[in-house]
Amino acid sequence: MDDDAVFKALADPSRRMLLDWLRERNGQSLADLCQGLAMSRQAVAKHLGILEDANLVATRRRGREKLHYLNPVPINRIAERWISRFDQPRLDALSNLKRRLEGEES
Amino acid sequence: MDDDAVFKALADPSRRMLLDWLRERNGQSLADLCQGLAMSRQAVAKHLGILEDANLVATRRRGREKLHYLNPVPINRIAERWISRFDQPRLDALSNLKRRLEGEES
DNA sequence: TTGACATGCAACCTTTTAGTTGCATATAGA
DNA sequence: TCTATATGCAACTAAAAGGTTGCATGTCAA
Quick: pLDDT tens for B35-88.
989 999 999 999 999 999 999 999 999 999 999 999 999 998 898 888 878 865
Write down the number of H helices and E strands in chain B. 6, 3
Q: Is the minimum distance from the CB of A41 to strand D below 7 Å? A: yes
The model's confidence at residue B31, banded by pLDDT at 50, 70 and 90, is very high
How many CA within 13 A on the CB side of residue B56?
29
Please say whether the dihedral angle defined by the alpha carbons of residues B101, A49, B83 and B22, taken in this order, is positive or negative.
Answer: positive
Is the pLDDT reported for residue B99 higher than 60? no
The model's confidence at residue A70, banded by pLDDT at 50, 70 and 90, is very high
Put simply, whether B82 touches A (Cβ < 8 Å) is: yes
Q: From the list B69, B79, B94, which residue is nearest A97 (CB)?
A: B69
Strand order in B57-62's β-sheet? Answer: B28-29, B65-70, B57-62
Q: From the list B58, B83, B101, which residue is nearest A97 (CB)?
A: B58
Is the pLDDT reported for residue A67 higher than 90? yes
Contact A69 B13 (CB under 8 A): no
Residue, of A26 and B102, whose pLDDT is higher: A26
pLDDT at B1 (0 to 100): 59
Residues of B in contact with A60 (CB under 8 A): 100-101, 104
3-state secondary structure of A60: strand
Put simply, whether A31 touches B (Cβ < 8 Å) is: no
Q: From CA A70, how far away is CA A18, in angstroms rounded?
A: 9
Please say whether the dihedral angle defined by the alpha carbons of residues A90, A3, A49 and A40, taken in this order, is positive or negative.
Answer: positive
Q: Average per-residue pLDDT in chain A? A: 86
Please provide the DSSP assignment of B51-102 as one string.
HHHTTSEEEEEETTEEEEEE--HHHHHHHHHTGGGGTTTHHHHHHHHHHHHH
Is the pLDDT reported for residue A54 higher than 60? yes
The model's confidence at residue A75, banded by pLDDT at 50, 70 and 90, is very high
pLDDT mean over A3-18: 98
As a rounded value in angstroms, the CA-to-C1' distance for A22 and D8 is: 22
Q: Is the minimum distance from the CB of B78 to strand C below 7 Å? A: no
> For the range A31-38, what are the long-range contacts, defined as Cβ-Cβ under 8 Å and sequence gap of 24 or more?
A31/A65, A33/A68
Is the pLDDT reported for residue B90 higher than 50? no
Put simply, whether B64 touches A (Cβ < 8 Å) is: no
Question: Any bridge partners for residue B28, and if so which?
Answer: B68
pLDDT at A104 (0 to 100): 46
